[in-house]
Amino acid sequence: MRTETPNIVLKTDKLSIGYRKKGISQVVASDIDIEIKEGELIAVIGVNGAGKSTLLRTLSGIQPGLSGEVFISDKKISKIDPSELSKNISLVLTEQLISKNLSVLELVALGRQPYTNWIGRLNRTDLKKVMHAIKLVDIEEIRNKKCHELSDGQFQKALIARALAQDTSLIILDEPTTHLDLFHKAYVLKLLQQLSRETKKAILFASHEINLALQLCDKMLILKNKKALYGQPVDLIQSDSFKDLFPSHLIHFDKESSSFKIK
Amino acid sequence: MLNQQKYSIALVFLFLAVILTALFNISLGSVNIPISEVTASLFGFETEKETWKYIILNYRLPKAITAIITGSGLAVSGLLMQTLFRNPLAGPYVLGLSSGASLGVAIVLMGASVFGATFGAILLSEWSLVIASSLGSLLVMFAVILASVRLRDTMAILIIGLMFASLTAAIVSVLAYFSPASQLQQYVFWSYGSLGNLSWEEVSILSVFWFLGILTSIRSIKNLNSLLLGEQYARSLGTNINRNRFMVIIATSLLAGSITAFAGPIAFVGLAVPHLVRQIIPSSNHITLVPAVIFGGAILMLICDTIAQLPGSEYSLPINAITSLIGAPVVIWLLVRKRKFNF
């Protein structure tokens, strides 16, 4: 039963993100008001150090916000216990120390942990969801390979499959396209778009691939000057949100082609 | 699915190998007893010679059980530490347990010369070494747990464990420096480790600790698997990182602490067995690895102990030397042959 208006998966209310050091708050960005609905693909962009990772960490509950609130399906994130949260948000992270001795199948199967029993045995439903996730990202042929045998692109797909197997309404990815060549960058982002359409999961990812994101995303979140600009790519272009994203003496945003150009 | 069936067969073979090596271990020694007589006496039947039964039930069997407990316990702690710290060089003693134990023993054995003769006399009873070594381990364990509760970074605990090891080793050196040769020799003999000399009473106490430690380890299997993805992923899968870390440290302390107390510091087994097992069963799943490592540790220890007894001779070698003498070449050979390191 799907209602006409899509469900809101995540919502923030005047969220302020940053760090607390010795009682002093260091605000990275403030007054963030966003709504993420099911089936949406959303890119978080901003220059290095703009706070993309901090935002993702706050939205996924790893790090508390400085003020304001994050709601996961109408529940305050700080009130959700970790095992419950793990059924709502799954992550795809970069630069993690993943044991490369895991096979792709084992890696994806670990996504089922929130649902398995005390020792982690997979039942029939778990196996079905694992196989389905593997099929969705099209890595069936390499499912018995060890992770150290995979190319960066394949490994990224396996990680995405793991997040899918976790069966959450929201998937958060931190720079899923780093280390990939242009083709695989486009491929992975296109895959994410496809997955958000097919599975009705909301997918939020941080990326430096602004040109690709503009073409693929339903919405974008720009972190700039400690503020967040949120909306559909067309509207963001109209409101000149991209104009001063980078120092303008080197690159500028060309409204005609909706892309950044070198001066 | 997940090669689980293949691994189950391997586990059955490993278990059979434990029984086989245990029988050989009991059968071989200064007096060699035929395997048939060994099984006969184990099942309560009469043996050809009455002395054989006496030897088996009072010396060989408790020693074999001690070998199984020490081997499996140390191997499991090694596996726990390697997964917790994501470090292939970690072993049961990275938390400084053995150095704590050696400090306790060193104080008992060599403290007399430093603190005065009466002190030494009070402490030297039958159980004194076990108690001293337990107290030493406990001291270091509490320090590490205290640190682990305050620290958020798992790697920092590794460093703290190493620091405690250096600290206690330094104190032991100072004690040794002032000790007469005879006491120093006693300490050196303790550090060789020993599986024999344990009464049934001691074996049963040790097995209680072993059982608790293994249970705690089994309880951590699911969380250990999630740690294979790194702490952030583990957390996102609902794993309580701090509680799991605490459980794993407790399990290791129960296992390695009690084993060191009764059998001395036995090197190498804990570090090597997980690697040996991973060469045979190339899985990362702790559901498979934990039982495999239990069996593998027991097998290695039984073999090493059999060799250390120098079957047919009056002499025996220090077990601590044998574990490395046998184990190190095997690990090297396996790694070179496979040219690939599974971790």
**Statement to judge: residues A255 and A178 lie in one domain:** yes
CATH number, domain containing residue A79: 3.40.50.300
A180 touches chain B (CB under 8 A): no
Count of beta carbons in the 10 Å neighbourhood of residue A221: 23
Contact check, Cβ <8 Å, B237/A62: no
Distance from CA of B285 to the nearest CA of A (A): 8
- C-alpha to C-alpha distance for B341 and B328, rounded to whole angstroms: 15
Count of beta carbons in the 10 Å neighbourhood of residue B154: 18
Report the greatest alpha carbon distance in chain B.
66
> Could you tell me which residues are beta bridge partners of residue B237?
none
Return the residue of B nearest to A60 by Cα: B236
Q: What is the pLDDT of residue A99?
A: 87
**Statement to judge: residues A55 and A136 lie in one domain:** no
Contacts of B218 in chain A (CB under 8 A): 119
Quote the tokens at residue B48: 């050809």
- Whether residue B333 is contained in a domain is answered as yes
Domain final residue, candidates A133, A167, A201: A167
* pLDDT single digits (tens) B279-337: 888 888 999 999 999 999 999 999 999 999 988 888 889 999 899 888 888 878 877 87
Q: What is the pLDDT of residue A44?
A: 97
- Whether residue B343 is contained in a domain is answered as no
**Statement to judge: residues A256 and A176 lie in one domain:** yes
Please give the ipTM for the structure prediction.
Answer: 0.93
Q: Does residue B97 have a pLDDT over 60? A: yes
B218, B232, B284: residue with CB nearest A93: B232
Quote the tokens at residue B114: 């430093």
Q: What is the pLDDT of residue A4?
A: 60
Are A176 and A92 contacting, i.e. CB atoms less than 8 angstroms apart? yes
Q: What is the pLDDT of residue B86?
A: 85
A124 touches chain B (CB under 8 A): no
- C-alpha to C-alpha distance for B87 and B284, rounded to whole angstroms: 14
Determine what percent of chain A falls in helix, strand and coil, rounding each to the nearest 5: 35, 30, 35
If DSSP codes are grouped into helix, strand and coil, which group holds residue A258? Answer: coil
Instruction: Label residue B152 by pLDDT band (50, 70, 90).
Output: confident
> Could you tell me which residues are beta bridge partners of residue A26?
A19
Return the residue of A nearest to B235 by Cα: A82
CA dist B21 to A15, A165, B18, B274, Å?
Answer: 64, 43, 5, 19
Nearest in space to B1 (alpha carbons), one of A216, A67, A122: A122
Distance from CA of A245 to the nearest CA of B (A): 30
Once rounded to an integer, what is the mean pLDDT over residues B249-271? 91
**Statement to judge: residues A76 and A178 lie in one domain:** yes
**Statement to judge: residues A26 and A79 lie in one domain:** yes
**Statement to judge: residues A176 and A65 lie in one domain:** yes
* pLDDT single digits (tens) B107-141: 888 876 666 655 555 555 667 888 888 888 888 88
Are A168 and A89 contacting, i.e. CB atoms less than 8 angstroms apart? yes
Q: What is the pLDDT of residue B83?
A: 93
Using a pLDDT cut of 90, give the percent of chain B over it: 46
Contact check, Cβ <8 Å, A113/B236: no
Contact check, Cβ <8 Å, B2/A91: no
Distance from CA of A36 to the nearest CA of B (A): 19
What is the domain extent for residue A192? Answer: 1-88+169-263
Quote the tokens at residue B159: 């460093």
Domain final residue, candidates A128, A148, A167: A167
**Statement to judge: residues A107 and A52 lie in one domain:** no
Interface of A with B in 194-233 (CB under 8 A): none
- C-alpha to C-alpha distance for B308 and B96, rounded to whole angstroms: 26
Q: What is the pLDDT of residue B165?
A: 87
If DSSP codes are grouped into helix, strand and coil, which group holds residue B85? Answer: coil
Using a pLDDT cut of 70, give the percent of chain B over it: 93
Are B274 and B82 contacting, i.e. CB atoms less than 8 angstroms apart? yes
Q: What is the pLDDT of residue B159?
A: 87
Q: Which residues of B225-253 are buried (b: 16+ CB within 10 A; e: fewer)?
A: bbbbbbbbbbbbbbbebeebbebbbbbbb
Quote the tokens at residue A263: 């001066």
Contact check, Cβ <8 Å, A60/B236: yes
**Domains of chain B: total:** 1
Contact check, Cβ <8 Å, A113/B239: yes
**Statement to judge: residues A5 and A74 lie in one domain:** yes
- C-alpha to C-alpha distance for B132 and B105, rounded to whole angstroms: 5
Return the residue of A nearest to B217 by Cα: A119
Q: What are phi and psi of A71, to 5 degrees?
A: -110, 130
- Whether residue B212 is contained in a domain is answered as yes
Return the residue of B nearest to A114 by Cα: B237
CATH number, domain containing residue B190: 1.10.3470.10
B178 touches chain A (CB under 8 A): no
Instruction: Label residue B76 by pLDDT band (50, 70, 90).
Output: very high
Q: What are phi and psi of A72, to 5 degrees?
A: -110, 120
Low-confidence ranges of chain A (pLDDT < 50): 1-2
Q: What is the pLDDT of residue B144?
A: 82
Return the residue of A nearest to B238 by Cα: A83
Contacts of A116 in chain B (CB under 8 A): 222
Contacts of B3 in chain A (CB under 8 A): 103
A49 touches chain B (CB under 8 A): no
Q: Which of B85, B237, B240, B286 to mutate to test the interface with A (most CBs of A within 10 A)?
A: B237
| Chain centre to alpha carbon of residue B331 | 18
Distance from CA of A159 to the nearest CA of B (A): 10
- C-alpha to C-alpha distance for A9 and A170, rounded to whole angstroms: 7
What is the domain extent for residue B109? Answer: 4-338
A62, A120, A122: residue with CB nearest B221: A120
**Statement to judge: residues A216 and A239 lie in one domain:** yes
A80 touches chain B (CB under 8 A): no
Q: What are phi and psi of B196, to 5 degrees?
A: -75, -165
CA atoms within 13 A on the CB side of B129: 21
Once rounded to an integer, what is the mean pLDDT over residues B135-159? 83
Count of beta carbons in the 10 Å neighbourhood of residue B113: 17
**Statement to judge: residues A18 and A53 lie in one domain:** yes
Q: Does residue B174 have a pLDDT over 60? A: yes
Instruction: Label residue B90 by pLDDT band (50, 70, 90).
Output: confident
Contacts of B222 in chain A (CB under 8 A): 113, 116, 118-120
- Whether residue B13 is contained in a domain is answered as yes
Q: What is the pLDDT of residue A117?
A: 94
Higher pLDDT, A229 or B45: A229
Once rounded to an integer, what is the mean pLDDT over residues B134-163? 83
| Pairing mode, strands A227-231 and A251-254 | unpaired
Distance from CA of A217 to the nearest CA of B (A): 25
**Domains of chain A: total:** 2
Residue entry with tokens 């399906």: A73
Nearest in space to B274 (alpha carbons), one of B61, B94, B138, B75: B75
Residue entry with tokens 């290695």: B300
Distance from CA of A81 to the nearest CA of B (A): 8
Contact check, Cβ <8 Å, A91/B233: yes
- Mean pLDDT of the residues in chain B: 88
Q: Which of A72, A88, A99 to mutate to test the interface with B (most CBs of B within 10 A)?
A: A99
Interface of B with A in 213-242 (CB under 8 A): 218-219, 221-222, 225-226, 228-230, 232-233, 235-240
**Statement to judge: residues A177 and A138 lie in one domain:** no
A85, A106, A118: residue with CB nearest B2: A106
**Statement to judge: residues A210 and A247 lie in one domain:** yes
Domain final residue, candidates A105, A132, A167: A167
Nearest in space to B241 (alpha carbons), one of B257, B229, B256, B253: B229
